[in-house]
Amino acid sequence: MTLPPDVRISVADRVTAASRVSIRELELAALALDGTAPLDDQVRLDLDFGAPPSRRHLLARGGEPRHVVGYAHLDLASADATAHVVVHPDHRRGGIGSELFSTLAAESAPTRLRIWAHGDPSVGRAFADRLGLTRLRELWQMRRTAKMPLDAPTYPSDITVRAFEPDRDDKAWVELNAAAFADHPEQGRMSLEDLRRRMQQEWFDPAGFFVAERSGELVGFHWTKVHKATATEPALGEVHAIGVHPAAQGLGLGKALTSTGLSHLSGLGVGEVMLYVEADNHLAVALYQRLGFVRHTVDVMYGRPWENLGHEE
């Protein structure tokens, strides 16, 4: 399938303010139809601040004036290239999504390409079927009622828990996060710049960012987040990230820090709390289930099956 004659695709590391507005309109139109946001926080940060050389924006423009009718984000920083793709509902099934995918594949070659579909929407499944992609990874969003009872957190006697202090803790937290998520393809790559960009966001609140300290060293953390109420959903709390240094595993810090953050969110009056967890992380899923979380939605990563076998296309 070829592109409509008036549509052109460009690749850039930064987008104009007008293009950001057009991409946001595109995302909201897709959200209204599909019921889930097609982009994530990292994509939006790259749109706002510009992407480093390892991350790029692909824009499909068409019509008059030339609005963004399709958008893709490509991240080349890890062993596998990862991408997000969204096409405006009014311009679907016209070849734009397929051409964006082809451009992504060309830009990422010879690295394996993976595509995220947030919320596992039917349009994502149909897109994957057309391109011969298979499900490789599932990320669950789990939720619990904020007011559900919790056991009081208990910490070892040599552990102190306090709020994150900007500037003082920035570098130490990045090092802790990298150690705690050494095997995680996204979270473990967060840089000092990534952290500080998030600290500039409206939702950032150091009072909800808890760090566990032992002998002056950070050994664990629970970073919470609050999503403001919208027209369709009340304010929602989030276990944004929680991690424990490998040297401090087995002390019960994960469970205790989770309880500390959940108690904080409950005190803010949110109705529900959400988190994301890898579906195959059975120990974490079991812990969250014991704390009252249940699966709410699923994000799916797709890829080409022959690439998983190490074969050439």
162 DSSP β-pair partners: 211
CB 197 within 8 A of CB 186: no
Same domain membership, residue 128 and residue 148 = no
Same domain membership, residue 117 and residue 147 = no
Residue 187, pLDDT score: 84
> At 306, which amino acid appears?
W
Q: Which domain holds residue 90?
A: 8-132
Same domain membership, residue 198 and residue 99 = no
The residue from 132, 154, 179 where one domain ends is 132
Other residues' Cβ atoms within 10 Å of the Cβ of residue 54? 13
Residue 79, pLDDT score: 81
Same domain membership, residue 94 and residue 147 = no
Same domain membership, residue 225 and residue 169 = yes
Residue 6, pLDDT score: 82
Same domain membership, residue 216 and residue 240 = yes
Cα–Cα distances (Å) from 269 to 147, 153, 214, 226, in that order, read 9, 20, 31, 10
Residue 232, pLDDT score: 75
> At 275, which amino acid appears?
L
In a domain? residue 221: yes
> At 254, which amino acid appears?
G
Residue 199, pLDDT score: 95
Q: Domain of 14: which CATH number?
A: 3.40.630.30
CB 112 within 8 A of CB 80: yes
Residue 50, pLDDT score: 84
Read off the tokens for 22.
Answer: 């057009």
The residue from 132, 163, 193 where one domain ends is 132
Same domain membership, residue 224 and residue 116 = no
Q: Could you tell me the mean pLDDT of each successive run of 10 residues in the chain, 313 residues long?
A: 81 91 95 92 90 90 82 90 95 92 93 94 92 95 94 95 97 97 83 93 96 97 94 89 95 94 95 95 92 95 73 39
Same domain membership, residue 194 and residue 275 = yes
Same domain membership, residue 188 and residue 62 = no
Residue 313, pLDDT score: 36
User: Which residue in the block uniquely carries the two structure tokens 């019509």?
Assistant: 63
CB 81 within 8 A of CB 37: no
CB 190 within 8 A of CB 177: yes
Residue 214, pLDDT score: 97
Structural domain tally of the chain?
A: 2
